[in-house]
Amino acid sequence: MKIKLLIFCFSLSLFVFGQKEIEAKELTKKEIRALKRQKSYEKQKERYAKRGLNEWGINENAPNLVAAIREHLGSARLDLQRGRVIIRQSESLNNAQPYPLWVVDGQLYTFPPDNIAYQNIREVNVFESLAETNKWGQQGRAGVIQIKTINNTN
């Protein structure tokens, strides 16, 4: 009797573990990539939270826009007091304006706009290379900082 019970428990455990394996194999590559992206997003959110930033990497309590998006500016030179950013050296480009072009929801600004609520910012892209900034022509020669808000995340 004990042997039959042992064999039954062993075969039941094989069935249960085998079933879990089959369920895991039924995921498509697309679903696996989506799960990996979600996991990466969650890790990034945790890193931002440890630094006192919101889930999109924005400091909602910053005194100006440059300080709010500092996390996304990478190696750009920052003047946090004046709210200025220098992405590329203007001398190398023969450009009169050393500061980047700001594009907020499709509108162009030569200086960081004051009318943005930092909690509404959802995406920040910094374009440095000439190939990336060609879209904005002469205005974007010193670099482009593109900001998308909750109102326009397309």
Same domain, 114 and 40: no
Domain boundary among 35, 54, 73: 54
Task: Please write the tens of the pLDDT for every residue from 110-132.
Answer: 888 888 899 999 999 999 888 88
* DSSP secondary structure letter of residue 152: -
Mean pLDDT over residues 80-88, rounded? 76
Percent of the chain that is helix, strand, coil (3-state, to 5): 45, 15, 40
- pLDDT band for position 22 (cuts 50, 70, 90): very low
Same domain, 38 and 103: no
Same domain, 37 and 98: no
pLDDT of res. 6: 61
Structural domain contains residue 105: yes
The answer, as to whether pTM is greater than 0.85, is no
- On whether the CB atoms of residues 50 and 100 are closer than 8 A, the answer is no
Same domain, 79 and 43: no
Instruction: Report how many domains make up the chain.
Output: 2
